[in-house]
Homo-oligomer: A and B are copies of this chain.
């Protein structure tokens, strides 16, 4: 799937008259290879050793956001993170453990239809959503029993 995603990114960029550069690919791969959302400073830590300038990271993230390649996510400590969105990654939600702070992906299909139904009759037209659920993950739940 990784190669395919990179091809899709390439196509998307070119469609918009933008260029598929090594730096953009490095940022994209950092996001694709990391199972948690990343803040910009965290991204910088990953790609700076490869020679990507910090200003480039900021500019790339902003572009990816405009292109809907990534979306913002609020991390447990109140920091803003970025993660790939479909079709660059699978649609999912987050379960945030209140004990250990771990953010784990949650398959989306279990909550999506119910959510859509809940808006009926409000005059709102939903095109997407983000769900974060807080609690105790399996491991931390066992610890307190």
Contacts and interface: CB of A to CB of B under 8 A. Distances in A.
A131 B129 contact: yes
Contact of A123 (B73, B115, B130, B138): B138
Contact of A128 (B117, B122, B130, B133): B133
Contact of A131 (B73, B98, B131, B135): B131
Contact of A74 (B72, B118, B137): B72
A25 interface: no
A48 B1 CA distance: 51
Interface residues of A, number: 35
Contacts of A111: 114-115, 118
Contacts of A136: 124-125, 127
Contacts of A118: 110-111, 114
A67 interface: no
A126 to B, nearest CB: 4
A95 interface: yes
Contacts of A119: 110, 133
A134 B127 contact: yes
Interface of A: 65, 72-74, 78-80, 95, 98, 106, 110-111, 114-115, 117-119, 122-138, 141
